[in-house]
Structure 1
Amino acid sequence: MNATVALDVRAQLGECPKWSDEEQALFFVDIKGKALHRYKPGTGEHVAMTMPEEIGCYGFRKDGGFVAGFRSGIWLLDREGKPEKKLADNPEDQNTSRFNDGRVDPAGRFLAGTIDEPKAGGKAHLYRYDRRGLVPLAGGLLTSNGVAFSPDGRTLYHSDTPTFTVWRYSYDPATGEASDRTLFVRLTPTESDRGRPDGAAVDVEGCYWTALFEGGRVQRYAPDGSLIGEYPVPARCPTMVAFGGPERKTLFVTSARDSRPEDELATFPHSGSLFSMPVDVPGLPEYRFDPAV
């Protein structure tokens, strides 16, 4: 299976692809380009919704529209991507911190993590937002990434990209509590390969798929943490994966081109674009954010 260009958008920092079964559309963000994109593979329709600031992640809302993580905090957006209401401030120093990767949990809460942009202090966190407010679930991070859930919702996966690690937690969908943190995967960088786990998704067999930033590929891990598949992507910096299409058997992959060297972009001219490839095992549907939870 080979990934090919699905949408030659060449985003600065493409991220957070998510499939809407309702609209049969793939949504994704360009963080540096301050945009939320909607792409319908069936018709080729592509719309970019301009955002007021950097948007790191989002989830679909139960009543339509989105919940999103910006530099300033967690917001509700309407169906056209316009901000409606701020739910919570980013409690970190917004000069060096913004929300990054995130996903809605099985009960309708929003889990979103931050990035410590200087990559120096380990000041980033993974947070949970629900009607009780914003609560940290994990800290001491450099770049919170890779949030995904097992099919039964009782295992939470989460990566810290610059440390080459993916963690696994016991998760209680009834309370939103994460416990029993254990190491799921640790990658070992080499001089020629600094591929590290970025955004992720889980398939119906419970396998964890992660894009390797600066690794030019996507990996698939079994629930026991063993590597069972590896798939090249025509970009040095894939950023996140999502399952989509009518049966969710298309793997979409976002990528980055911002601040990449000229020789790399000459080798991978479609960096920043959206890629896709067929897969045999479908992915899980996205949960929807419920402000009442």
Structure 2
Amino acid sequence: MTDTPELIWDLRAELGEGPVWVARDRAVWFVDIKGRRLHRYGVDDGSTSSWDTPDQTGFALPAEDGTMVCGVRGGLQTFDPLTGRFTPLIAVEADRPQNRINDGFVAPDGSLWFGTMDDSEATLSGALYRYAEGVLTRHDDGYRVTNGPAMSPDGRTLYHNDTTQRGVYAFDHEDGILSRKRLFAETSGGFADGLCIDSLGVVHVGLFNGSGIARFAPTGEVLPGIAFPARTVTKAAFGDDDLKTLYCTTAWLGQDAATRSSEPALGGLYRLRVETPGLPQAFVRL
């Protein structure tokens, strides 16, 4: 059961990405990567707040200490919502200056998984990393545009996308170690953008230029998707007290003038209700 996606913030982000429900804030946080902005939407009153970021920022995820950990080009930084201040945490890929950080995810153990990519999308220089206990580890390499990552409800499978290949990959996961990489699913009708997983293990993949969200069972079986009034769904996140509201980011990046004229709300934040709840949001352990 789903209802019709509702536009709740018509902010027209160039590349809206990385929605995350933070229960302690009663808010959804997300970024505009190309616009270099961090956004907060209050779910109870529809309040909105925005901050400039130091550079292109792929995600902002909650930490246990009340800050947000942000994937800023060149490294991880913490953001304090009370002061609006960004503070460097650890450098990432100083040897790959053409890259930037893209999508990220917090595992139940408090570790942070995220991907990098060539900002021009020209080379296979993107990689998949884990940050835990102050240590940054590269777990996979050779991506053009990374997206995801996310983990199954039992924590035994980690999913990660290469968007331009329309591929969703799965890894066996145990204690922060990945093995047995394989192609889990391929999207049609759109590029495999960010993903999230519900409490039954169903994988929800945003379809960039696909006007919807693709859904895959844990077996890889294609399930009925969710149609969207915006063609560039970049990622969804489960939120609200019952975790049955999908908050979805979109973008106007790469769209021609005719498309932007016919779909003026591209780049907005949307929501819709679904039947199956998502998984609780974990916090980065610093």
Q: Deviations over 1:132-186 (max 9, x none)?
A: 52211111100110111111112101000001100011111x3x11111111102
Looking at structure 2, the residues matched to 32 and 120 of structure 1 have their Cα atoms a distance apart, in angstroms, of: 17
Residue identity in the other structure for 1:208:
V
Identify the residue that residue 89 of structure 2 maps to in structure 1: 86
Is the 1:58–1:69 contact (alpha carbons within 8 Å) kept by the matching residues of 2?
Answer: yes
Matched, 1:253 2:248: yes
Identify the residue that residue 152 of structure 1 maps to in structure 2: 154
Matched, 1:225 2:220: yes
Identify the residue that residue 100 of structure 1 maps to in structure 2: 102
SS in 2 for 1:38: strand
Alpha carbons of structure 1 residues 109 and 258: separation in structure 2 relative to 1, 3 Å: same
- Give the superposition deviation at 1:256: 0.6
Residue identity in the other structure for 1:179:
S
Alpha carbons of structure 1 residues 91 and 133: separation in structure 2 relative to 1, 3 Å: farther
> Tell me, which stretches of 5 or more residues in structure 1 are unaligned?
none
Matches within 5 A, 1:128-143: 128-131=130-133, 133-143=135-145
Is the 2:105–2:148 contact (alpha carbons within 8 Å) kept by the matching residues of 1?
Answer: no
TM-score (norm 2): 0.95
Looking at structure 1, the residues matched to 11 and 136 of structure 2 have their Cα atoms a distance apart, in angstroms, of: 34
Q: Deviations over 1:79-119 (max 9, x none)?
A: 3442123222333432x210000011121111111112333
Looking at structure 1, the residues matched to 281 and 198 of structure 2 have their Cα atoms a distance apart, in angstroms, of: 11
- Give the superposition deviation at 1:58: 2.4
Identify the residue that residue 196 of structure 1 maps to in structure 2: 191
Is the 1:51–1:82 contact (alpha carbons within 8 Å) kept by the matching residues of 2?
Answer: no
Looking at structure 2, the residues matched to 49 and 118 of structure 1 have their Cα atoms a distance apart, in angstroms, of: 25
Alpha carbons of structure 1 residues 57 and 92: separation in structure 2 relative to 1, 3 Å: farther
Identify the residue that residue 52 of structure 1 maps to in structure 2: 54
Matched, 1:239 2:241: no
Identify the residue that residue 63 of structure 2 maps to in structure 1: 61
Identify the residue that residue 277 of structure 1 maps to in structure 2: 272
Q: Deviations over 1:220-264 (max 9, x none)?
A: 111001111211112121100101122111111101113310111
Residue identity in the other structure for 2:23:
D
Task: Name which of 161, 168, 171 aligns with 2:170.
Answer: 168
SS in 1 for 2:24: coil
Is the 1:208–1:222 contact (alpha carbons within 8 Å) kept by the matching residues of 2?
Answer: yes
- Give the superposition deviation at 1:187: 2.8
Looking at structure 2, the residues matched to 203 and 89 of structure 1 have their Cα atoms a distance apart, in angstroms, of: 30
Residue identity in the other structure for 1:213:
F
- Give the superposition deviation at 1:49: 1.7
Identify the residue that residue 75 of structure 2 maps to in structure 1: 73
Task: Name which of 258, 264, 267 aligns with 1:263.
Answer: 258
Looking at structure 2, the residues matched to 91 and 216 of structure 1 have their Cα atoms a distance apart, in angstroms, of: 36
